[in-house]
Amino acid sequence: MKNLVLLFAIVLVVFTGKNVLASETNAEFKAYSITEVDDLFLGKDIKAVWKISYSESETPVTVVKKKTVEGTEYVVHSKYFEVCYLASNKGFGTKEVRKSCRNVPTKINSAVIDQEQMKRQRIITPNQVDDEKALGLIASYLPELINTGYTHVLN
């Protein structure tokens, strides 16, 4: 009986410790700012552009809004990774960036993006989202997509 109680206590400490650690590492990404980029020649496919900053000292990520036959794509670009969020009648979530829109080599992108998180975020919400909600979800969920060794690319 003592062994069972001791085992339960160890399991509880291990799981609680992991949750605390996870929240501490992601705490720096809870604060972000979103600014719309104005006065750009966007072309016929691009509907809007925003910058998401997690830190004032580093380069923000760029979010490009495009209308496609699947729905509205929000393509997130940075120097080191790219990811696409799709808002459609099936909901809102991640998908791979189209080959025609890629700027970052696949090998680098694969090293930075956590593929398990990509799968988990395929549908973040089944509801329709507007630009404001989509940008908030992107800013909130994007840090979870970045592999632990590469979180510095966001700040």
- Per-residue pLDDT tens over the stretch 134-145: 999 999 999 999
Q: Where are the beta strands (DSSP E) in the chain?
A: 33-36, 46-53, 61-67, 72-77, 82-88, 91-95
Residue type for position 29? F
Tokens in use for 10? 């160890």
pLDDT at 134: 96
Per the CB < 8 A criterion, the answer to whether 47 and 64 are in contact is no
Give 25-50 pLDDT, tens digit per residue.
344 546 788 888 886 666 677 889 99
Do 79 and 105 belong together in one domain?
Answer: yes
Do 118 and 130 belong together in one domain?
Answer: yes
Do 60 and 10 belong together in one domain?
Answer: no
Give 115-128 pLDDT, tens digit per residue.
999 999 999 999 99
Do 60 and 77 belong together in one domain?
Answer: yes
CA distance 147 to 114: 5
Do 63 and 24 belong together in one domain?
Answer: no
Do 142 and 93 belong together in one domain?
Answer: yes
Cα-flanking dihedrals φ and ψ of residue 39, to 5°?
A: 60, 40
Give 56-92 pLDDT, tens digit per residue.
766 789 999 999 999 999 999 999 999 999 999 999 9
| pTM (2 d.p.) | 0.76
- Output DSSP code: residue 40: -
* Domain span at 59: 32-154
Do 67 and 142 belong together in one domain?
Answer: yes
Do 4 and 19 belong together in one domain?
Answer: yes
Do 12 and 56 belong together in one domain?
Answer: no
State how many domains the chain has: 2
